[in-house]
């Protein structure tokens, strides 16, 4: 017995597809042969669709929605609803009594929905909306615990615990609770108390033996380090003088340098002065305290007050050995400072850190977190209600863009891949698609058989950018080229400046294909005429210039008279030309006589000529237009298209709208070109002449007394044969 589900089918876009018209169809999607699906996978990003719904459908979070994920969603949503047909309405309101409490998932969703409504102050409501389930901040704002493992200061009434949570948020970091408030989890509170313990231990290790200058040790070290490179430079210069006294001038400050900057405001040259030695070097290697470079005077006075006056009290200078001993005194302090721990809580100070550590509310906070996590299942069920409402609202719309692609062929809907409208060259292109990978498009778009304009789009108001592929399905393409500007409007109405960057050429319509050969011929003739005219103009200009440069005037009038005059008239040449013209005219008249032998032969000739010229182009265009397929364009965007998405001639015409102007009753344009009657007169005369020739050569003007004389062929009579002496009838007697 065959228990297969009885699917219905329909024809959409010239292709037979399965029809999804009931909740039962949705429930049985798992039984639909995967070969019959229009789409096998689609990307989560780049679609004009509710982003959260797409994220919920992408259960494995790989950025693609595949058939098995769609089937799973279909089976789940239909299992928790009593009336499966409600999915087709796409409503954002769900009556609670429509939840199937006969199954565990449905009962859980019902209870969670009631909890959400109670939290929102709507305990008596009998239906829930998408807005209700989506407002997680409002849902959890009045709750102490919400199952996310994060607690806030509002989760407790203990002031000491509140302080521990607040200090953790302020100093270590925070996570956002479902209620929308900053809170802490187990990792953050543990890190806070670890930092407190480490900081207190480090701070208490600061004993007097590592503080050579008491409470001023840190400031004294900073003063030493501020001049340390300059002091080292000074003592090296002294060593060079002791090594070679002649080096004194080279290592000391050059007077010429001071002279170079002395003309202006020398306070503006302090950076230059700071490059001079700290003091004037000497062979003794003593740094005198009263001869310091003005640019370094402030830093050195600070060093002297904090360190030198204490270590070298009463001294007027110091040696390198004395300086080294001073620097070594900071060794223990630097080692302790370098081992600083718990820096995150250092701003509290040692006493406050010890107070918080002594109170030790860590376990209290962890207990609150455990209490919060106990409600995880209930809180997740509340999230599941939000999932239910999103899929309930958007799932059928998604199926219409996935299983059958019905939205694309609808007159009232837009497909999820249609990004907006492009206005260009007096037309509006409705089929515009966001391009994700230009490299793939370059290879695959040609296979679609569509005329595609690739455009870079920039919104001046928001700075947003977009790369789109706009499909042209009607009108001519004479004025479309790379670099042409246009305006693109996205689905939200935001406008972009668009520039054509690439064109994939294919037939647009049979009408355009009809005129294409003539336009190409006209373009070719125009190009050749322009090229020939330019070449002749250049040649004439060049010849005139050359002759003007090389011409020489005759010495006198006699020489001019003596010059021979060339006779340019050649009667034989002109006779040949007129003979050729006569032959050609005779041939043309003979052809016209044959053409107009019957009244209908000219029409047949014109029709045959049109078919010969435009027929192949129109036939090829007709074949290609019937096979235009959007599939390759979507495949290049990350879709996996399983069936052809045909854009035939009739449907294609609806995707591009052309400008239509009303006929003006009165033309009052003052700048309109004035019309000359001569073109119309010439055309009328040519038509009359053609009609007369046709009637004349077909001998149809007898009623006017005009009769075409029949063509008489002159034949030369044969010459008479000479008479013979004896008649052939008179036979000679026969001898017996």
Give me the DSSP letters along 491-524: TT--EEEEEEEEEE-----HHHHHHHHHHHHHHH
Mean pLDDT score, 475-503: 91
User: What does the domain layout of the chain look like in residue ranges?
Assistant: 8-142+375-407, 153-207+344-373, 213-329
Q: Sorting pLDDT into bands at 50, 70 and 90, what band is 521? A: low
Burial class (CB in 10 A: 0-12, 13-18, 19+), 56: buried
3-state secondary structure of 249: helix
390 pLDDT above the threshold of 50: yes
Report the share of the chain in percent with pLDDT over 70.
79
| Per-residue pLDDT, 733 | 45
Opening angle at CA 163, ends 159 and 169, nearest 5: 145
Mean pLDDT, the chain, rounded, equals 83
- Among 13-17, 73-77, 249-253, 477-481, top mean pLDDT goes to 73-77
Q: CB under 8 Å to 621, separation ≥6 — which residues?
A: 507, 509, 510, 512, 513
Question: Which band of pLDDT confidence, cut at 50, 70 and 90, is reported for residue 448?
Answer: confident
E-strand spans in 622-709? 640-641, 656-658
pLDDT of residue 84: 94
SS3 19: strand
What's the mean pLDDT in 646-652? 84
What's the pLDDT tens digit per position in 349-375? 989 999 999 999 999 999 999 998 988
Q: Residue 639 has which token pair? A: 């879709």
Give me the phi and psi of 455, to 5 degrees please. -130, 135
CA dihedral 360, 362, 364, 365 (to 10 degrees): 140
Q: How far is CA 156 from CA 152, 169, 181, 339, 376, in A?
A: 8, 15, 14, 37, 18
Alpha helices in 427-492 (DSSP H): 438-444
| More reliable by pLDDT, 285 or 584 | 285
Confidence of residue 596 (pLDDT cuts 50, 70, 90): low
The pLDDT confidence band at residue 717, using thresholds 50, 70 and 90, is low
- Backbone φ and ψ for 90, nearest 5 degrees, come out as 65, 35
For residues 364 and 153, what is the distance between their CA atoms, to the nearest angstrom?
12
Look up residue 648 and give its DSSP letter.
Answer: -
| pLDDT exceeds cutoff 70 at 587 | no
What confidence category does residue 475 fall into, taking pLDDT thresholds of 50, 70 and 90? confident
Cα–Cα distance list, 651 to 13, 80, 473, 606 (Å): 8, 39, 9, 33
* pTM score, whole prediction: 0.65
pLDDT classification of 731: cutoffs 50, 70, 90: very low
Strand order in the sheet with 64-66: 64-66, 39-43, 640-641
Neighbours of 80 (CB within 10 A): 23
Collapsing DSSP to helix, strand or coil, 544 comes out as helix
Q: Which has more confidence, 475 or 403?
A: 403
- Mapped onto helix, strand or coil, the DSSP state of residue 258 is helix
d(CA 441, CA 455): 13
pLDDT tens per residue, range 392-445: 999 999 999 999 888 999 888 899 999 999 999 999 999 999 998 777 787 777
Provide the token pair at 287. Answer: 């740094």
């Amino acid at each position: 017995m065959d228990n297969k589900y009885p699917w219905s089918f329909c024809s959409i876009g010239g292709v037979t597809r399965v029809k999804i018209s009931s909740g039962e169809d949705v429930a049985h999607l798992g039984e639909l042969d995967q070969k019959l699906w229009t789409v096998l996978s689609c990307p989560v990003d780049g679609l004009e669709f509710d982003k959260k719904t797409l994220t919920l459908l992408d259960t494995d979070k790989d950025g693609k929605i595949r058939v098995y994920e769609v089937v799973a969603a279909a089976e789940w949503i239909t299992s928790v609803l009593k009336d499966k047909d409600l999915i087709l309405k796409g409503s954002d309101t769900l009556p609670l009594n429509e939840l199937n409490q006969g199954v565990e998932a449905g009962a859980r969703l019902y209870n969670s929905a009631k909890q959400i409504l109670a939290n929102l102050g709507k305990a008596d409501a009998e239906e829930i909306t998408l807005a209700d389930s989506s407002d997680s901040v409002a849902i959890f704002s009045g709750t102490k615990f919400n199952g996310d493992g994060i607690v806030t200061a509002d989760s407790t009434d203990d002031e000491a615990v509140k302080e521990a949570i607040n200090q953790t948020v302020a100093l270590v970091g925070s996570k956002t609770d479902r209620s929308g408030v900053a809170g802490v989890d187990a990792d953050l509170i543990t890190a806070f108390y670890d930092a407190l313990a480490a900081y207190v231990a480090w701070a208490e290790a600061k004993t007097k033996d590592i503080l050579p200058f008491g409470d001023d040790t840190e400031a004294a070290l900073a003063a030493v380090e501020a001049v340390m490179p300059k002091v080292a430079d000074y003592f090296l210069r002294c060593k060079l003088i002791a090594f070679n006294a002649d080096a004194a001038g080279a290592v000391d400050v050059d007077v010429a340098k001071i002279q170079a900057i002395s003309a202006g405001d020398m306070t503006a040259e302090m950076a230059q002065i700071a490059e001079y030695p700290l003091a004037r070097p000497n062979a003794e290697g003593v740094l005198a305290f009263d001869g310091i470079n003005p640019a370094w005077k402030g830093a050195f006075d600070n060093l002297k007050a904090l360190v030198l006056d204490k270590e070298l009290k009463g001294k007027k200078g110091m040696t390198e050995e004395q300086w080294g001993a001073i620097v070594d005194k900071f060794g223990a302090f630097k080692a302790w400072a370098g081992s600083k721990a718990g820096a995150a809580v250092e701003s509290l100070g040692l006493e406050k850190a010890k107070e918080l550590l002594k109170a030790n509310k860590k376990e209290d906070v962890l207990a609150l977190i455990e209490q919060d996590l106990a409600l995880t299942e209930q809180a997740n069920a509340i999230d599941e209600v939000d999932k239910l409402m999103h899929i309930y609202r958007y799932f059928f719309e998604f199926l219409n863009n996935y299983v059958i692609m019905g939205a694309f062929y609808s007159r009232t809907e837009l497909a999820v891949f249609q990004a907006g409208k492009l206005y260009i060259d007096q037309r509006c292109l409705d089929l515009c698609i966001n391009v994700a990978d230009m490299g793939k498009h370059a290879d695959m778009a040609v296979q679609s058989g569509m005329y595609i304009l690739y455009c870079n789009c920039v919104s001046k108001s928001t700075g947003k950018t977009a790369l789109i592929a706009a499909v042209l399905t009607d009108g001519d393409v004479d004025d479309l080229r790379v670099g042409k500007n246009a305006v693109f409007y996205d689905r939200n109405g935001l406008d972009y400046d668009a520039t054509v960057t690439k064109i994939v050429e294919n037939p647009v319509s049979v009408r355009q294909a009809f005129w294409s050969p003539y336009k190409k011929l006209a373009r070719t003739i125009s190009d050749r005429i322009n090229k020939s005219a330019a070449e002749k103009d250049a040649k004439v200009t060049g010849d005139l210039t050359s002759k003007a440069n090389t011409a020489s005037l005759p010495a006198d009038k006699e020489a001019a008279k003596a010059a021979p005059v060339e006779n340019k008239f050649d009667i034989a040449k002109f006779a040949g030309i007129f003979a050729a013209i006569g032959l050609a005219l005779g041939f043309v008249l003979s052809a016209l006589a044959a053409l107009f032998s019957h009244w209908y032969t000219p029409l047949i000739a014109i029709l045959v000529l049109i078919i010969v010229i435009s027929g192949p182009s129109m036939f090829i265009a007709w074949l290609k237009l019937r096979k235009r397929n959007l599939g390759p364009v979507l495949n290049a965007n990350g879709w996996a298209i399983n069936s052809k998405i045909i854009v035939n001639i009739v449907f294609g015409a609806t995707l591009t709208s052309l400008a239509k102007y009303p006929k003006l009753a009165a033309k009052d344009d003052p700048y309109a070109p004035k019309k000359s009657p001569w073109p119309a007169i010439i055309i009328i005369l040519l038509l009359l002449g053609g009609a007369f020739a046709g009637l004349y050569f077909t001998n149809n003007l007898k009623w006017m007394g005009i009769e075409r004389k029949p063509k008489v062929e002159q034949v030369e009579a044969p010459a008479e044969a000479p008479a013979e002496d004896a008649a052939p009838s008179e036979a000679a007697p026969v001898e017996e």
